[in-house]
Structure 1
Amino acid sequence: MTKRTDTALLVVDAQESFRQRTDDWAATANPKVLDHIAQLVEHARSSGDQVVWVTHSEPGTDGVFDPVNGHVRVVPELKPADNEMQVTKTSVNAFTTTNLQQQLTLRGVRRLVICGIRTEQCCETTARVASDLGFDVEFVIDATTTSGIPAGGNYGDVSGEDLMDRTAGILAARGFATIVTTAQRVGEPVAV
């Protein structure tokens, strides 16, 4: 199948590093995230959309994001295809420390569908930067996940569910992205 060049699914940080943080992963707000991402990947492939795999790396930290420890790789159940673009970032968003914008522009991509891990961090920041760069953005909220943030300073605990809700609300209200669900994305196309 010939790839359509107007739409790309960005799978952000669906990587083994997060599962190595066992307490954090066990507390994820959306335990079905990998199933939903898999549905989006299957739909993108069957629709001729491009699939882009983004991983996060922190070289020299000796932690779960340090590539020398072997966890900076897409979780095995998602299995990127050989012909699909893969980029590794060292910033929160997928653009600043990669050539992703150039690669997408060269391929004629104008619309990005974003899913992945850390709803309010890497996924949201990628959506905001993508919008600023002129891409139309769909944010598939139930194909993202995060975990809660414990109280700090003058702030109380924030649950992962609250972070996901707030992210969706802010992205939509400020015009950064159209918020959709996996079912909406794999059903009829959603206008952006």
Structure 2
Amino acid sequence: MTISKTSNPALILIDIQKGFDDIAYWGGQRNNANAEENAAEILKLWRENNLPLFHIQHCSSNPKSLLNENNTGNEFKDLVKPNENEIVIKKNVNSAFIGTNLKEQLDHANIKTLIIVGLTTDHCVSTTTRMAGNFGYETFVVSDATATFNKKGVDGQDFSAELIHETALASLNNEFAAVVTTDFVKQSIK
């Protein structure tokens, strides 16, 4: 799988929102501290090349969630804040395809290739990637422009954020998507 700007690939920025800055709320540990910076580099490249991009915003239906629309945590992080003319798609479940018109917009624009960045690797990034692969899009997940948090196992054991991240990517790679790096994407879209 290769990325070419002539194929008009779409950048999908998933849930890069201020609420994820509260690491204690999400588990106490996070990996890929530079994920947002890498996503911002890719976003800059997309803007410079006038390629399609979609900002996905998680709008939790739980009023106590940091990602609820009534909380400041729902706002996009400043590094990747959408410009006025850029598409924002709001969702309230893990997949950016469920309850939204993302697929219709992609298909209407004849987009076949997706580059996915954002938060969190094992939840919304993974779920959206799996659906994208099942829908037949040529899908790329950028490993160093995604991140997640540690998790407690069913028996109470601690799983590090890096382990959760790596296993989520391993489950996606060569099945639903190609897992690539920011440098790979930048080299592909020169």
TM-score (norm 2): 0.89
Pairing 1:96–2:79 present: no
Deviation digits for residues 114-168 of structure 1 (CA, Å, limit 9, x no counterpart): 0001101100110000111111100101100001102333x63211111121122
Check the 8 A contact 2:121/2:148 in 1, yes or no.
yes
Alignment correspondent of 1:126: 128
1:41-52 correspondence to structure 2 within 5 Å: 41-52=43-54
- C-alpha distance in structure 2 between counterparts of 1:26 and 1:4, whole Å: 42
The answer for unaligned runs of 5 or more in structure 1 is none
The answer for unaligned runs of 5 or more in structure 2 is none
- C-alpha distance in structure 1 between counterparts of 2:110 and 2:8, whole Å: 6
Deviation at residue 48 of structure 1 after TM alignment: 2.5
Deviation at residue 19 of structure 1 after TM alignment: 1.6
Question: What letter is aligned with 1:41?
Answer: L
Deviation digits for residues 87-134 of structure 1 (CA, Å, limit 9, x no counterpart): 110110100121110111111111100000110110011000011111
Deviation digits for residues 45-75 of structure 1 (CA, Å, limit 9, x no counterpart): 1222211100111135232122112321211
Runs (4 or more) in structure 1 with deviation over 4 Å come to: none
Check the 8 A contact 1:30/1:142 in 2, yes or no.
yes
* Larger RCO (CA under 8 A, 6+ residues apart): 2
Alignment correspondent of 1:39: 41
Alignment correspondent of 1:181: 181
Secondary structure at 2:118 match in 1: strand
RMSD: 2.0
Alignment correspondent of 1:116: 118
Q: Number of aligned residue pairs: give it.
A: 185
Question: What letter is aligned with 2:144?
Answer: D
Secondary structure at 2:159 match in 1: coil
